[in-house]
Structure 1
Amino acid sequence: MNEPAIPLSQVKLFGSRFARPECVLATAAGDVFASDRRGGVSHVLPHGEHRLYVGATLDLAEAFHPNGIALQQDGSFLGAHLGMHEGGLFRLTRDGQLTPVLREVDGETLPSTNFVVLDSKPGRVWITVSTRRTPRMGAFTRAVQDGFIILLDEKGARIVADGLCFANECRVDPTGTWLYVNETYKRELTRFRIGADGSLSGRETVTQFGPGEFPDGLVFDAEGGAWVTTIVANRVLRVARDGSVAVMLEEHHPEHVEEVERAYQAGLVDRSLLDHARARILANVSSMAFCGPDLRTGLFGVLLADRLPTAPLPFTGAAPPHWTWR
């Protein structure tokens, strides 16, 4: 494995009091948003004030647990509910109103729902469900391939890709041609060609990852490089258009990776192994956003810390659809 492009010494920690900030977003104005396990979204304003937006609804039998979040133009959020026994997509306003957007698709009640992201095409939303198994920990193996991708647009919601091995974050590439998705326990980055009607076809493996590299977060730079955050190995990787992989940042603990790798090969990965990573800065790095006025700073979501790592980057990010919103 080649040396990281960004030394760990250049990482700084941002904010405080985050609670399992799995998914992070940033805007041109300097706002930072993170999903929050307390039932909503944490917001750090440009001047440093920290706000927490939470909501509850009788439509859920358990507390709202947003995993992936997406900022809407009106300032509300879409949140993928990562419930133990149920899932779905919900809309959260900043005054605490929580309403269901999607509870079933193609006749299936949605199980624990992982991620939601906006397309640059207005009104088009992509959603991932990692597995149909309940609880989802039963799918922490490459032997289970029942995850799927949902497209929600003006025609409604429908499953557009199925048979994925723990579908995690997905993202449309800067050309608008491909939808990329991380298959976490297959340890692959996969892509589909997007049709004019939003259909997906031509499934391809972009690259396969190595020991301990379980892909979670996904974002693109302006050159079309896919940045993938990997839990366990605690690496941030850049996958070039040709599929070649470069280590951009890491906080690697070989002993922990070896322990998880043995369990993975035996089909015995469980939550306790994932929740005891030794990294303290990139503490199970789970997502990434480009931020700063020039989109040359990385902001990272983490599963096991209450502060967000940030680092200067050698590439400029592709501006997300919500970049100019607040």
Structure 2
Amino acid sequence: MLTLTPDDVEFIGNDIERGECILATRSGDLFLPDRRGGINIIHPDGATDRTMARGAPEGFLPNGIALLPNRDFLMADLGPGGGVWHMSRTGEMSPLLLELNGRKLEPTNFVGIDRLGRTWVTVSTRLVPREQSMKKGHADGYIVVIDDRGARVVAEGIGFTNEAIVDPSGKWLYVNETIARCTSRFPIRDDGSLGRKEVFAQYGAGTFPDGFTFDEEGGIWIVSVVSNRVIRATPDGKQHTVLEDVDRVWLDEVEQAFQNGTYTRKHLDSGGQRKMGNLSGICFGGPDLKTVYLASLFGSRVASFRSPVAGAAPVHWEF
């Protein structure tokens, strides 16, 4: 299996700020959020455009994004306002989901769509500020589904809910639990509710899973903040570290802090001091779906490398 160093990756794009999530389409375009309040579009030649949001709430911080068939976007607001917003391809903003059962959504991590037209939303924690939840064993994150029945919570008690994506079969919703340090999955029932959670992959010391994507062989590729790792996990339980970029002495300190309950935002952000910029998002792209693209919290460009395994085409591939 592929094993790389930071020197093996290439970079594309420019002037990106906090491109936490990344999407690719057959056209060759890449899409990432921007902390300044909008969407970055990296074209195949590397040129980068930005569409700024108009009418966003104060403190709006786009995090997870979903591309719609007409190239509008859904955007999860990790800022104090929380919730999910719709942004037209020209930047006009309108709210999609800001409260549920009379309760305002907390800072919202991720939003995605599936092939049945459902929208999946994750909230990492009910605690504000959310850094309070970055403790081993804390698990109050939840998942919301929006469909023709409306919006409702379908899973709770998650160890810092991060990306949640329906797999290519349409039968499972996978989710990264960053503080529980695992990738879990739920069977999806016909009515959009979820069955019992099971752990697909449990990660070891120094791995805090954030974004992920599927390959055509059933593998899941996750990226880890702090350690700047790319890990491929397969259904037979095997894990392979494709790439990492870390100061191992510092990572030992981070691990000790996590285990003794002194883990803070400074530990989470420390991966930003490395070349990979604190990896947070991953997708497959390119004409053959064998180019891996990596997004980061602190990098101004997108890293990429070639994979021997093709990715599974995401729901937005033809958009």
Q: Structure 1-normalised TM-score?
A: 0.94
**Aligned residue in 1 for 2:290:** 296
Q: In 2, distance between residues paired with 1:177 and 1:223? A: 16
Between the aligned residues of both structures, percent identity stands at 43
1:199 maps to 2:162: no
Structure 2 letter corresponding to 1:226? I
Aligned length: 319
Q: 1:275 to 1:100 in 2, by over 3 A?
A: same
**Aligned residue in 2 for 1:5:** 3
Deviation at 1:47, TM superposition (A): 4.0
Give the 5 Å matches for 1:8-87: 8-57=6-55, 60=57, 62-83=58-79, 85-87=80-82
Deviation at 1:243, TM superposition (A): 2.4
Offset from partner CA, 1:186-234 (integer Å, 9 cap, x none): 1111111110111111211112111110000111011111111111121
3-state SS of paired residue (2:55): coil
Q: In 1, distance between residues paired with 2:272 and 2:153? A: 37
1:186 maps to 2:180: yes
Question: Does structure 1 retain, via aligned residues, the 8 Å contact 2:11–2:303?
Answer: yes
Structure 2 letter corresponding to 1:76? D
Deviation at 1:44, TM superposition (A): 1.6
Deviation at 1:4, TM superposition (A): 5.8
Worse overlay, 241-250 or 216-225: 241-250
Offset from partner CA, 1:144-173 (integer Å, 9 cap, x none): 211001111111111000010100011111
Q: Structure 2-normalised TM-score?
A: 0.96
Deviation at 1:279, TM superposition (A): 5.3
Q: 1:285 aligns with which of 257, 273, 279?
A: 279
For structure 1, the residue ranges without an aligned partner over 5 or more in a row are none
**Aligned residue in 2 for 1:263:** 257
Worse overlay, 285-294 or 87-96: 87-96
1:243 maps to 2:243: no
Deviation at 1:251, TM superposition (A): 1.5
Offset from partner CA, 1:115-158 (integer Å, 9 cap, x none): 0111122x211111000000111111123211001111111111
Structure 2 letter corresponding to 1:166? F
3-state SS of paired residue (1:96): coil
Question: Does structure 1 retain, via aligned residues, the 8 Å contact 2:26–2:317?
Answer: yes
Q: In 1, distance between residues paired with 2:272 and 2:37? A: 27
**Aligned residue in 2 for 1:119:** 114
3-state SS of paired residue (1:131): coil
Q: In 2, distance between residues paired with 1:167 and 1:177? A: 20
Question: Does structure 2 retain, via aligned residues, the 8 Å contact 1:253–1:279?
Answer: no
1:99 maps to 2:99: no
1:89 maps to 2:87: no
Structure 1 letter corresponding to 2:72? S
Structure 1 letter corresponding to 2:91? G
Structure 2 letter corresponding to 1:11? V
Question: Does structure 2 retain, via aligned residues, the 8 Å contact 1:6–1:248?
Answer: yes
Offset from partner CA, 1:167-190 (integer Å, 9 cap, x none): 001111121111111110111111
1:273 maps to 2:271: no
Q: 1:262 to 1:10 in 2, by over 3 A?
A: same
Worse overlay, 4-13 or 124-133: 4-13
3-state SS of paired residue (2:281): strand
**Aligned residue in 1 for 2:213:** 219
Q: 1:45 to 1:148 in 2, by over 3 A?
A: same
Question: Does structure 2 retain, via aligned residues, the 8 Å contact 1:234–1:279?
Answer: no
Question: Does structure 2 retain, via aligned residues, the 8 Å contact 1:40–1:64?
Answer: no
Q: CA RMSD in A?
A: 1.5
Question: Does structure 1 retain, via aligned residues, the 8 Å contact 2:213–2:221?
Answer: yes
Question: Does structure 2 retain, via aligned residues, the 8 Å contact 1:173–1:224?
Answer: no
Deviation at 1:46, TM superposition (A): 3.0
Deviation at 1:9, TM superposition (A): 3.1
Question: Does structure 1 retain, via aligned residues, the 8 Å contact 2:86–2:93?
Answer: yes
Offset from partner CA, 1:25-48 (integer Å, 9 cap, x none): 111011111110000111122344
For structure 2, the residue ranges without an aligned partner over 5 or more in a row are none
Q: In 2, distance between residues paired with 1:147 and 1:92? A: 25
